[in-house]
Amino acid sequence: MKVIFVIPSMAGGGAERVISVLANEFVKAGNETSVVMFAGNTCVYSMEEKVKLIQTGEKTGKSFTKRISRIWNMRKYFKENKDAVVITFGPDAAFFAFLAGLFLKMPMVMSERNNPEAYSRKKLRNFLYGQAEAVVFQTQEAMDYFPDKIKKKGIVIENPLSDNLPDIYSGEREKTVAAVGRLEKQKNHEMLLRAFAIFCKKHPEYTLHLYGKGVLLDHLKAAAVELGIEDKVCFEGFRKDALLQIRRAGMYVLSSDFEGISNSLLEAMAVGLPVISTDCPCGGSRLCIQDGINGMLIPVGDEKAFARAMESIADSEETARQFGENAVKVREKYSAGVIAEEWLSLFNKVLKNRDRG
């Protein structure tokens, strides 16, 4: 079949990572696959040669003319590929794809990639999702948020792990705490810094390594200084090889206020890292982590509980080892081939329903 993903760009992020994995799997299975980027042409992921990367626009700076151009170019590409299934990731992609595809009668699958409560234009988003043939959610909790009209079209498909992950690591661990994610408010790195400052009082030998870029970089650096831990916090920036860099870390932490399913968390578990995460909506971390078995879940925003969890791993090599050994089982459950097949099965169902109609 022919598949078109729609996303602002492939410049880095959870949704973009999932698209890169799925697109690669789709072409391996013989499906013609393209990724339409409407806000730039940057792609930081390794893509199979047969995956087509198409740019239909750039960042608009709220320019009406540029937005119209973006829609026009996307519509032109849709017309050239009217036999394709269109998949949008996120409400913004759904908006532009819907307008570009008006009256073309192309089957559209839309996917919610974050906590639906956090999106501001809910009525518009719900209208768009109501026009899709199917809506894909990462968790049941996310799907249950929506009205029945959308839930009837809904299906839960979890995130895939890449096939080219580093090997599982089970050796001696470094005295480091690692986190990977955009430096934005959603990720609540400020709470993580406060928790690490508490943790450091008992474990001054540890350092905290934050991988990612974002608008809060200077603010977080200032917060580290205010907490007196600036010499223990390393801002590593965005790195394609972040997982390789952190696989020997003492632990991996996720401090988000809300998430879908964190790809970085899944990958950390897949290489054997003991993990700690906030039990944040919309349930993605709870889906991956069995508290006390393959990691630890902490109430959102609770820096004291987070610090205690870090202490429990730092204090016990046996706890860290058991968490890591149990965590790697996600490799089988979330393998790229298994998840890609779920998506392709959905597309076949959508196409058959369209033919019956």
**pLDDT per position as a tens digit, 181-227:** 999 999 999 999 999 999 999 999 999 999 999 999 999 999 999 99
**pLDDT per position as a tens digit, 217-241:** 999 999 999 999 999 999 999 998 9
Class of domain 176-333: alpha beta
pLDDT at 74: 98
Q: In this model, does residue 357 exceed pLDDT 70?
A: no
Which of 120-134, 158-172, 239-253, 266-280 is the least confident region?
158-172
Residue 96 bridge partners (DSSP) = none
Q: In this model, does residue 250 exceed pLDDT 90?
A: yes
Q: In this model, does residue 355 exceed pLDDT 80?
A: no
Q: In this model, does residue 356 exceed pLDDT 80?
A: no
CATH classification number, 2-161+335-356, choose in 3.30.70.20, 3.40.50.2000, 3.20.20.140, 3.30.365.10: 3.40.50.2000
pLDDT band with cut points at 50, 70 and 90 for residue 331: very high
Q: State the Cα–Cα distance between residues 221 and 217, nearest whole angstrom.
A: 6
**Fold matches, 2-161+335-356 and 176-333:** yes
Q: State the Cα–Cα distance between residues 33 and 99, nearest whole angstrom.
A: 21
pLDDT at 13: 84
Q: Under a CB-based contact definition with an 8 Å cutoff, are residues 226 and 152 in contact? A: no
Q: In this model, does residue 330 exceed pLDDT 90?
A: yes
Q: What is the CA angle 192-16-44, rounded to 5?
A: 90
When pLDDT is averaged across residues 92-115 and rounded to a whole number, the result is 96
Tokens 């790809």 sit on residue: 263
- Token reading at 206: 């540890």
Q: In this model, does residue 62 exceed pLDDT 90?
A: no
Q: Under a CB-based contact definition with an 8 Å cutoff, are residues 112 and 142 in contact? A: yes
- For residue 256, the SS3 value is coil
Q: State the Cα–Cα distance between residues 301 and 230, nearest whole angstrom.
A: 21
Q: Which residues, 6+ apart, have CB-to-CB distance to 198 below 8 Å?
A: 303, 304, 307
DSSP letter assigned to residue 29: T
pLDDT at 163: 81
- For residue 203, the SS3 value is coil
- Token reading at 140: 């049941």
**pLDDT per position as a tens digit, 154-179:** 999 999 998 889 999 989 999 999 99
Q: What is the CA angle 191-253-12, rounded to 5?
A: 95
Q: In this model, does residue 275 exceed pLDDT 80?
A: yes
Q: Under a CB-based contact definition with an 8 Å cutoff, are residues 229 and 193 in contact? A: yes
pLDDT at 198: 98
Q: In this model, does residue 346 exceed pLDDT 70?
A: yes
Share of the chain above pLDDT 70, in %: 99
> Where in the chain are the domains?
2-161+335-356, 176-333
pLDDT at 353: 84
When pLDDT is averaged across residues 48-58 and rounded to a whole number, the result is 97
pLDDT at 260: 85
Give pTM, 2 decimals.
0.87
